[in-house]
Chains A and B, each alone.
Chain A
Amino acid sequence: MSTAATADASSSGDTTEGSVRLLTLQSEDGEVFEVKETIATQSVTIKGMVDDDCATSTIPVCNVTGRTLAMVIEWWNKHEIGAVSNEKELKEWESQFDTIDDKSDRDDVYDLLMAANYLNIPTLLDCCTSAVAEAIKGKSTDEMREFFDIKSDFDEKEEDALRKENQWAFEN
């Protein structure tokens, strides 16, 4: 587990380490993480809670597992200063998703996507959506249905007509 907390601070939430306040986040499956406020406020959702003074006790992060939350915190730590990723860093991060076809990697990206959406972390959301877009752009219609587990609701005629509209997009 990689959290930003280095000191063995008490788990009462509103703790301070030097002048940096620590926030306590609790994942859906009960894992507890202590994260510097300056880092965690990359999440617009958490920033809102801090600004409204609602972040004094443990913050429950529903819908996000401990495993995913650890990955999110890793992302936060990487992007602490300025919080704007440069192109090279982005590429580095994206390279992790090169084998996104592997099912466990795909699940990881999905989890991160959902967490980034729920916690409202624009930079992470940007990165994950780019990674998925990069992974799917060469796929056929059938491969896409499999990738996202979607059943077609077109009948054969309708699909044929759609294909004919843009035949060139289906040619190699």
Chain B
Amino acid sequence: MGRASCSKRPIPFIPIEIINLILVRVPARSLLRFRCVCKDWCNLIDSFWFVRNQVSIASQQPQVVLAPNNFPLSYKSFTFNGNVLKESSRFPILEFSYRNNNCLDYIHAGEVGFGFTCFQYRYRPGEACLFNPLRRQVLVLPMATCIGQPHWYGMGIDSTTNAYKIVHFVSSVDTDSLAAEIYTLGAKSSWRQISSISPFPFQSPSIDHITGVSAHEDMHWTDQCKIISFDFEKEEFKLTPHPDFGKSFLLTTLRGSLAAVVSFSETQAEIWDSEIQAEIWVMTDYEKKIWVKEYKISMNTDHPKFWDYACSIVAFSSHWIFVDGMGHDHKFLLDLFETTR
């Protein structure tokens, strides 16, 4: 594009819909600065549709926010330039001290989508707050009415009413079923119970696997064997079919699609063999439930059960995944382009 041109002409007027298309691809940190450009931009960035578009494109952004496992909890923002994951601010984005400055009382319950993370109050099950570290928004949810353990939370948009909805569900204590309720943001509402599923679809629910994944407008959770999905429009749970991976798996999103990371560390029974393998399956068509095996990863680690202990996998910038091996101080960045298909 080096050709000389008449460069003194005025900058053409760019319609707001094109500005919108550009801004949804900009990292959140830049957007917070660009809110100050003018009123139109501020309204655009704060608008409902913008948040929604940005979520659909967010998986392409090379930016990641990490919540450390050790307390006190402070969020840090990182940018990724293809080589180095660099801390983008000297200061933590937010130090979490919502109640009594005692963050130890909160369990980090994972991302719920739309930039929000969920925290549960340890000593009063059913009390939780949502938290957007980039915007520094804290949203305290009313006390849940469904009783059971553990507590799952998810967030989504009902496209018929354009309302944000929070879903909360538990494995009911007395009956072998899943009890669920909905909270609609904005309206002066409270939790509203919805029809439950019986029998409870998950095997031995554990606190380690309460983190869900937001993709294809639904929210998805797994117990490493089944995938249960919630449709925010119909307010229904459904089991999402997947191929028989033969192994346990974790969920993530890749380029906006639901993806399963299947670990093969167990079959490599050679404990001393340091090479472990995993496959990444991507749901390429959510309507027809088509899964495609897109990547096969081989990696060396001195922890042969690494994938089994991995507590979260974050995919970003279309071909990078970040794996957090909780409690083992194993954090990995993998470039999927370097792996074989």
Contact = CB atoms under 8 A, between A and B. Distances in A.
Interface of A: 67, 87, 96-97, 103-108, 110-111, 113-114, 117, 125, 129-130, 132-134, 136-141, 144-145, 148-154, 159, 162-163, 165-166, 168-172
Contacts of A104: 1, 3-5, 7
Classify chain B: how many residues form its interface, as a range. 35 or more
Contacts of A96: 1
Interface string B7-31: 1011110110111011101110110
B18 A154 contact: no
20 contacts: A106-B11, A107-B9, A117-B18, A125-B21, A129-B25, A130-B25, A133-B22, A133-B25, A141-B37, A144-B37, A148-B37, A153-B39, A154-B39, A162-B42, A165-B32, A166-B32, A166-B136, A169-B32, A169-B33, A171-B89
Given A136-B26, A153-B39, A148 B32 contact: no
A94 to B, nearest CB: 11
Contacts of A105: 1-2
Nearest to A98: B1
Chain A at the B interface: SS class: helix
A168 B22 contact: no
A107 B4 CA distance: 11
B286 interface: no
A170 to B, nearest CB: 6
Given A87-B319, A110-B12, A168 B30 contact: no
A152 B7 CA distance: 24
The main secondary structure of chain B at its interface with chain A is loop
Contacts of A151: 38
Contacts of A133: 22-23, 25-26
Nearest to B25: A133
A148 B14 contact: yes
Contacts of A111: 12
A87 B318 contact: yes
A89 to B, nearest CB: 14
B83 to A, nearest CB: 15
A129 B21 contact: yes
Contacts of A162: 35-36, 42
Contacts of B91: 168, 171
B332 interface: no
A103 B7 contact: yes
Given A129-B21, A162-B42, A168 B93 contact: yes
B135 interface: yes
Interface string B302-328: 000000000000000011000000000
